[in-house]
């Protein structure tokens, strides 16, 4: 049996929560390997709706959850999320959740700097969540991050805070924002330490033992390939690498342990925040997709921008992200539309492209080239086999496979976990 890595194949919010939940029921361990509490998954289980940001989705199914070293952790947000899901009846304690000792922490000064920078950008703002993710990753790369393991060493905390405050207070003062006092931050971290440290360990060792024992590991990505800091629509991206290769480096396993890579894509396209969006619709159809799809960010609550399926972008995401199969979600949102458009290329000047340019101005300037296909009047909602789908819906899915050059291995037809059509079991490799 293979392990499985799940990543987004668009700009995030593709419905990964349901797919990860469906796969987690058959896994032994679920691992978060990048991002922070700027991303969210919504899971609907019976009459309960769980909104998770840092916690691995497998906890809902009673599986062991692991937060890897590639994740940046706001300890206040983590403890609040644990308390929230416990109130919903989930058993989340150190025996169910393990956290990499080397994961960097997000502190209040990171969020303050994040928000101050966005305010200073004005109309050129990137659209961050303001939760400190980017500044925390900056500190990690600059080798001044406070990590989970540092909570066990008060003197280490004190010394590292001196360096952090020298850097961050200088920036905050320059941006006209309030600065932070060392004593306040140190006291709070020392209060949090006994609450966080029971979850901490060298998770790479646990994952190695699990792999050798033949246990199934599900690697759960946040955001999506087109938000990858290297491969996405830079600078309108997240601050981490979101491709499947990061599942290895972000959790402490070798690349061969990642297994089958499943990419999640909606049957249309959405995006939260600023940045290029070639197929965005500003008309009644775009509004209809948003209303039917309940398109609001899990973390931010911001309405998502909606548009037609962009096969060029998903094809690019599949190739750079290492995607071997697609899970296509929210097909039912397209029910009743007389015609559908699929983006098959971009025009830029006199040239037709089958890739998204790297340069920001070119990304904003491309115009989509559409192929129009028939819609369907019958409902696809709740379909659990190909025979339940209208012929036009089947042709739509098959055309996406051709254009993206990646097979659709799983099809989701409603938020309900069992309303799923499986063509290939990712755990079979």
The residues annotated as belonging to the active site are 13, 41
Residue 39 phi/psi, 5° resolution?
-115, 155
Comparing C-alpha atoms, which of 233, 172, 226, 310 is closest to residue 7? 226
- ∠ CA 199-193-148, rounded to 5°: 60
CB of 39 closer than 8 Å to CB of 54: no
Count of positions (residues) in the chain: 429
Query: What's the rounded Cα separation, in Å, for the pair 412 and 418?
Result: 9
Query: Hey, which residues does 165 pair with through a beta bridge?
Result: none
């Amino acid at each position: 049996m293979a392990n499985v890595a799940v990543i987004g194949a668009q700009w995030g919010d593709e419905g990964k929560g349901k797919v990860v939940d469906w796969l987690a029921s058959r896994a032994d361990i679920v691992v978060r390997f990048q991002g922070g509490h700027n991303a969210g998954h919504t899971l609907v289980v019976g009459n309960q709706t769980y909104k998770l940001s840092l916690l691995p989705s497998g906890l809902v199914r009673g599986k062991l959850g692991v937060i890897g070293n590639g994740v940046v952790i706001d300890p206040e947000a983590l403890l609040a999320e644990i308390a929230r899901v416990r109130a919903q009846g989930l058993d989340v304690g150190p025996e169910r959740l393990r956290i990499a000792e080397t994961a960097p922490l997000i502190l209040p000064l990171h969020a303050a700097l994040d928000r101050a920078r966005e305010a200073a950008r004005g109309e050129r703002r990137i659209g961050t969540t303001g939760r400190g993710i980017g500044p925390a990753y900056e500190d990690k790369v600059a080798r001044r991050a406070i990590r989970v393991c540092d909570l066990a060493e008060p003197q280490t905390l004190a010394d590292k805070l001196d360096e952090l405050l020298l850097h961050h207070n200088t920036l905050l003062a320059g941006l006209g924002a309030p600065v932070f006092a060392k004593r306040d931050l140190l006291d709070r971290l020392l209060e949090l330490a006994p609450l966080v440290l029971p979850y901490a360990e060298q998770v790479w060792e646990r994952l190695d033992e699990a792999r050798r024992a033949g246990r199934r590991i599900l690697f759960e990505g946040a955001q999506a390939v087109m938000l990858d800091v290297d491969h996405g629509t830079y600078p309108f991206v997240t601050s981490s690498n979101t491709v499947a290769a990061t599942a290895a480096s972000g959790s402490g396993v070798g690349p061969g342990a990642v297994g089958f890579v499943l990419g999640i894509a909606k049957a249309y396209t959405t995006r939260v925040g600023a940045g290029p969006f070639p197929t965005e619709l500003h008309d009644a159809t775009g509004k209809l997709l948003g209303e039917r799809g309940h398109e609001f960010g899990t973390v931010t609550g911001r309405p998502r921008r909606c548009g037609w399926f962009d096969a060029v972008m998903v094809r690019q995401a599949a190739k750079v992200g290492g995607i071997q199969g697609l899970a296509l979600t929210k097909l039912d949102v397209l029910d009743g539309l007389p015609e559908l458009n699929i983006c098959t290329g971009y025009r830029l000047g006199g040239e037709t492209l089958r890739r998204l340019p790297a340069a920001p101005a070119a990304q904003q300037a491309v115009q989509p080239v559409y192929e129009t296909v028939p819609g369907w009047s019958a409902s696809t909602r709740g379909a659990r086999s190909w025979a339940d789908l209208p012929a036009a819906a089947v042709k739509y899915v098959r055309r996406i496979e051709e254009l993206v050059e990646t097979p659709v291995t799983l099809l989701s037809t409603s938020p309900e976990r069992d309303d799923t059509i499986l063509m290939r079991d990712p755990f079979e490799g």
